Amino acid sequence: MTKTTGAASRLAEALAVVLGTQEIPLRLRAWDGSEAGPADAPKIEFRSRRALRRILWSPGQLGLSRAYVAGEIDAPGDIFAAFAALSSAGKFAEPGPFRPLTARELRTLLTTAVRLGALGPNPAPPPEEARVARHGRRHSKGRDAAAISHHYDVGNDFYAIVLGPSMVYSCAVWEDENTGLEAAQEAKLDLVCRKLGLKPGMRVLDVGCGWGSFALHAAQNYGVDVVGVTLSTEQAAVARKRAADAGLTDRVEIRVQDYRDVDDGPFDAISSIGMSEHVGREQINRYVSQLHGLLRPGGRLLNHAISWNAGPTAPDPDSFIPRYVFPDGEMLSLAEMVGALESGGLEVLDVEALRRHYALTLRAWVRNLEDHWDEAAAASGGGRARVWRLYMAASALGFETGLTGVNQVLVQRPGGSEPPLRRTAWF
């Protein structure tokens, strides 16, 4: 390990203790300008002693995440390289929850904090941490609404910067790496329409409609009438304006409504794109039953959802994403999702895995964020922008390594017309 004198060498030793490694896989720069670690490794900056104090109180992912969100730690270069190096080292590379420090490791960390003048009370979490949204009964309508508001009501201008003109906040479908984000998102929306077999005059329900992109695409290009539901008031306002600007208010209705309260079926088709991750394992059977009841016999449902591919799927409530990004979010495995849909009386017609596509999508979003950093920070606050940078970069690596996946599962309610014989009907 290449070292210089100063705080950095002691910080490197402390970080090695937290990681459970002999040496750190990073080039570390401390608040006093000193550096330590391999010269050619990805760079991390500790800008304040407070970052070490956070790690002392919460050694592991949560302490490091809080310090990054607060601006006390930064990854000024390639955040993908820095996060990959960190997540593949020691305890971070081990499956399951982060392994706590031993008494000896904790003493070593404490000694380092004393020598660097970092002792003190536990700093308050950054204001971006979701605390209010974690109160009440899990997946009650009120708590779900608070969780959705925490994630989506952070400013439409911010999302416009990150997502681009398409305003689609889910995995795009790429012909190749050079396709471009907008074209890839349009391809995804059209693929969903074709899988659902949309035809003029059909009535379609879009569950978790976001800013209305699918609803607008389906109404404009396939002549269908769409009801879109979301729990985000900010999303609904933009979706309604977009429908009005496109002259589609007679074809697109946007509601602020819980999917459990939709009672005006039947619908000829239902799209659920990036929404069922908010439902939770304990509610998934109710979710399937509700959508089954809203579908006309022979009608199709497309469920597009992230899956957890790495064994047990119980979320760690103290990890970064539940606290900062998706309160109460819960990824099911593909087997669990297909099982729930089949148990709910729906016939599986097709399953398509899009794991690599989401990695490309997330990298494009990170580029948008970094290329317009000052605007994004002004729109949502610097802490929120740092949350999204960390979350999207970490998620991209999760898809690239196969830790997570994303799948479109197409199902049909029995009765009505038979599905086509081959996938060529929608491909």
Q: What would the pLDDT profile of 158-193 be if each residue is shown by its tens digit? A: 999 999 999 999 999 999 999 999 999 999 999 999
Q: What is the mean pLDDT of the chain?
A: 90
328: buried, middle or exposed (CB in 10 Å: 19+, 13-18, 0-12)? buried
Every domain of the chain with CATH number 3.40.50.150 lies at 141-425
* 327 close to 130: Cβ distance less than 8 angstroms: yes
Q: Which phi and psi angles does 88 have, rounded to 5°?
A: -95, 5
What DSSP string runs through 361-378?
HHHHHHHHHHHTHHHHHH
Q: What's this model's pTM, rounded to 2 decimal places?
A: 0.92
* CA trace torsion 330, 335, 337, 340 (10° rounding): -120
Q: Kindly state the average pLDDT of the residues 358-375.
A: 97
What DSSP string runs through 60-72?
THHHHHHHHHTTS
More confident residue, 96 or 23: 23
Percent of the chain with pLDDT over 90: 69
* 150 close to 165: Cβ distance less than 8 angstroms: no
A 10 A CB-CB count for 42 gives: 21
* 354 close to 404: Cβ distance less than 8 angstroms: no
The verdict on domain 141-425 having CATH code 3.40.50.150 is yes
Is beta strand 35-36 parallel, antiparallel or unpaired with respect to 27-29? antiparallel
Residue for token pair 């399951």 = 96
Residue 21 is predicted with a pLDDT of: 84
* 408 close to 357: Cβ distance less than 8 angstroms: no
Q: Which residues contact 1 (CB under 8 A, 6 or more apart)?
A: 12, 23, 24, 36, 37, 38
For residue range 215-241, list pLDDT tens digits in order: 999 999 999 999 999 999 999 999 999
Closest CA relative to residue 204, chosen from 105, 273, 145, 118: 273
Kindly state the tokens that stand for 25: 């896989």
Residue 2 is predicted with a pLDDT of: 44
Percent of the chain with pLDDT over 70: 90
Residue 356 is predicted with a pLDDT of: 97
Residue 132 has pLDDT above 60, yes or no: no
Q: How far apart are CA 130 and CA 120, in angstroms?
A: 24
Q: Which phi and psi angles does 205 have, rounded to 5°?
A: -105, 130
End-to-end CA distance of the chain: 53
Collapsed DSSP state (helix, strand, coil) of residue 299: strand
Residue 3 is predicted with a pLDDT of: 43
Q: Which residues contact 335 (CB under 8 A, 6 or more apart)?
A: none
Residue 424 has pLDDT above 90, yes or no: no
Closest CA relative to residue 359, chosen from 325, 405, 313, 326: 405
For residue range 59-71, list pLDDT tens digits in order: 888 899 999 999 9
For residue range 304-323, list pLDDT tens digits in order: 999 988 765 555 666 787 78
Residue 157 is predicted with a pLDDT of: 93
